[in-house]
Structure 1
Amino acid sequence: MSAQAPFIFPLRGLGQGLYTYELVADDAFFASFKDAPVTRADIKLELTVDRRTREMTLTFDFAGTIATTCDRCMADIDLPIAGKESLIAKFTSGADEMEDEANLIYLDPDTSLFNAAPYAYELILLAIPMIRTFDCREGSAPFPCDEEMLDRIDDSIEYASDGDVKEDGDTDKPSPWDVLKDLS
Structure 2
Amino acid sequence: MEELKEYTIPFIGLKAGAHQFKFQIGQEFFEHFEYEDFNDSQIELVVGMIKKLTMLEFDLDFEGKANVNCDLTNEIFDLPVSGSHQFVVKFGHEFDDHNEDLMIIPHGSHEVNIQQQVYETIVLSLPSRRIHPGVKDGSLKSEILDKLNELSLGNQTGDDSDDTDPRWDDLKKLLTDK
* TM-score, scaled to structure 2: 0.74
Decide which structure has the larger Cα Rg and report it: 2
1:58-105 Cα distance to aligned partner (Å, 9 max, x none): 11101111222101221112211111111111123x134x56312111
**Distance 1:171-1:77 versus aligned 2 partners, 3 A rule:** farther
Contact 1:75 1:146 in 2 (8 A): no
1:132 to 118, 122, 130: 130
Instruction: State the alpha-carbon separation in 1 of the partners of residues 91 and 21 from structure 2.
Output: 21
Is 1:158 equivalent to 2:158 in the alignment? no
Instruction: State the alpha-carbon separation in 2 of the partners of residues 118 and 13 from structure 1.
Output: 23
SS in 1 for 2:42: strand
The runs of 5 or more residues in structure 2 that have no matched partner are: 164-178
Identity %: 22
Residue of structure 1 in register with 2:99 after alignment: 101
Q: How does 1:65-144 map to 2 (within 5 A)?
A: 65-92=65-92, 94-96=93-95, 100-136=98-134
The runs of 5 or more residues in structure 1 that have no matched partner are: 160-167, 173-184
**AA paired with 1:158?**
G
| 1:114 CA displacement | 1.2
Instruction: State the alpha-carbon separation in 2 of the partners of residues 52 and 3 from structure 1.
Output: 25
Instruction: State the alpha-carbon separation in 2 of the partners of residues 65 and 27 from structure 1.
Output: 11
**AA paired with 1:116?**
I
SS in 2 for 1:77: strand
Is 1:170 equivalent to 2:161 in the alignment? yes
Aligned residues: 156
Higher strand share: 2
Higher helix share: 2
**Distance 1:130-1:120 versus aligned 2 partners, 3 A rule:** same
Contact 1:3 1:29 in 2 (8 A): no
**RMSD over aligned Cα, in angstroms?**
2.8
Instruction: State the alpha-carbon separation in 1 of the partners of residues 53 and 89 from structure 2.
Output: 11
Residue of structure 1 in register with 2:50 after alignment: 50
SS in 1 for 2:119: helix
| 1:151 CA displacement | 3.4
1:84-130 Cα distance to aligned partner (Å, 9 max, x none): 111111123x134x563121111123111211112101111111211
* TM-score, scaled to structure 1: 0.72
**AA paired with 1:41?**
S
Contact 2:3 2:113 in 1 (8 A): no
